[in-house]
Amino acid sequence: MHEPGQEEKTYVLNFGPQHPSTHGVLRVELQMEGEFITKAAPDIGYGHRGHEHMAENRNYQQFLPNMGRVDYLHALAYNQGYCMAVEKLTGLEVPERAEFIRVITAELNRIASHLLWVGAYLLDLGAFTPFLYCFDDRENILDLLDRVTGSRLTYCYYRFGGVPKDIDDEFMAGCRAFITRLRGRFKDYDDLVTKNIIFIKRTRDIGVISKEQCVRYGLTGPMVRGSGIPYDIRKSEPYSVYPRFDFEIPIGERGDIMDRYLVRIREMAQSLRIIEQALDKLPDGPIMAEKVPKRIKPAAGEVYQAVETARGEFGCYIVSEGDIKPYRIKLRVPSFGNLSILPEIAVDTLVADLVAILGSIDVVVPEIDR
């Protein structure tokens, strides 16, 4: 790194907080030696809204809209995690049809999140065209979800005991059309991105994470699956009606950025499979449990419910003291744990690679900050 006799110089570089590739307000303080990073210290909390504090001052229903605003890209998984935790705490049974609708919409939302990631991530790496393709596809999902949930982002669609609005034929036809469309697009993505030599050079063997690091840092989601650990809550800790569907958990081998990219691309295809099966098997019946109390007042106790979001494990930990307000809610968010490994894997990389590595973690900063 240094010419002989040249004076050694380190300097500090502020990466963010206002930088397009931080995907939100995230600052990483870098100590540099030339182009190489010797220390990376993420500085988070710019978007801290105190969701957990809000939870203690609201009743259970009033906290529901907050769940669309933690991870705004996969809000329905948060809806699901929180609703399931409260349902477990109160013993509410969700009708089968509602579970199917939850799975269909949550999987659509997962694909939308992955599509946004692919587009925005390639933009980070300097490829502009895939961004347009991805957003074009994602727009279809937003229209579909808008139809049933009433919003394009920050969904608040699930309720304790079911869902408030049934899906109709038009929605189902739209889903099927989208499945066909996206399946036809995977080849385009492959040709455009996966086989692109610049992309391969930027991602192969960069930002490698070992299995052992996964355990020590408690990583979840595509971050562990890229490293070859088939850990997906939908399979590892089955919830809702996921056990009834046939799908695979794609994993990588080397644990580099390329593997994490491939895991996400393949996951979209698996989500399509789930949606297709769910549409085929969709049972008739009610979409809300019959007796949902107006005031949710669980008995004293605690519960931990995990669900798989697009970024990894969301764990909803609720402590109830028998009141209409939760005594404590802890949101175990995947990006928080996933980002905490950055200081370790960023050392001795180039600044340009840091952009690639940080992007490959797929952080949603408001989720980390809560």
Partner 1 sequence: MLSERIKKALALLKLEKVEGGDYGKTGYHVEAAADPGQMPEVAKAMLAEGCFLESLTAVDYPAHFTLVYHFASYEELCRTVVHAKLDKRLMATSITAVYPAANWYEREVYDLFGIKFAGHPDLRRILLPLEADFHPLRKDFGATASNA
Q: Which parts of this chain interact with partner 1 (CB under 8 A)?
A: 44-45, 48, 50, 52-54, 56-57, 88, 214-219, 224, 229, 231, 236-237, 301-306, 313, 315, 317, 319, 327-328, 330, 332, 336-337, 340-341, 344, 369-370
Answer yes or no: are the C-beta atoms of 366 and 27 closer than 8 Å. no
Least distance (Å) from partner 1 to the CB of residue 91? 9
Least distance in angstroms from the C-beta of 86 to partner 1 = 13
Q: Name the helix (H) or strand (E) containing 232.
A: none
Order of strands across the sheet with 27-33?
Answer: 11-15, 27-33, 36-43
- Residue closer to partner 1, measured from CB, 22 or 305: 305
What φ, ψ does residue 298 adopt, rounded to 5°? -70, 155
Instruction: Give whichever of 119 and 326 is closer to partner 1, judged by the CB atom.
Output: 326
CB of 213 to partner 1, least distance (A): 9
**Cβ closer to partner 1: 34 or 218?**
218
Least CB distance to partner 1 at residue 300 (A)? 12
The tokens describing 22, both together, are 């931080």
A 10 A CB-CB count for 365 gives 20
Rounded Cα distance between 71 and 196, Å, is: 31
The span from the CA of 228 to the CA of 365, in Å, is: 26
User: Nearest CA to 63 among 41, 42, 78?
Assistant: 78
Choice between 123 and 368, CB closer to partner 1: 368
Q: Which is nearer to partner 1, 23 or 138 (CB)?
A: 23
Q: Tell me the closest approach of the beta carbon of residue 125 to partner 1, in angstroms.
A: 27
Residue closer to partner 1 (CB basis): 137 or 267: 267
3-state helix, strand, coil in the chain (%, to 5): 50, 15, 35
Question: Shortest Cβ distance from residue 93 to partner 1 (Å)?
Answer: 13
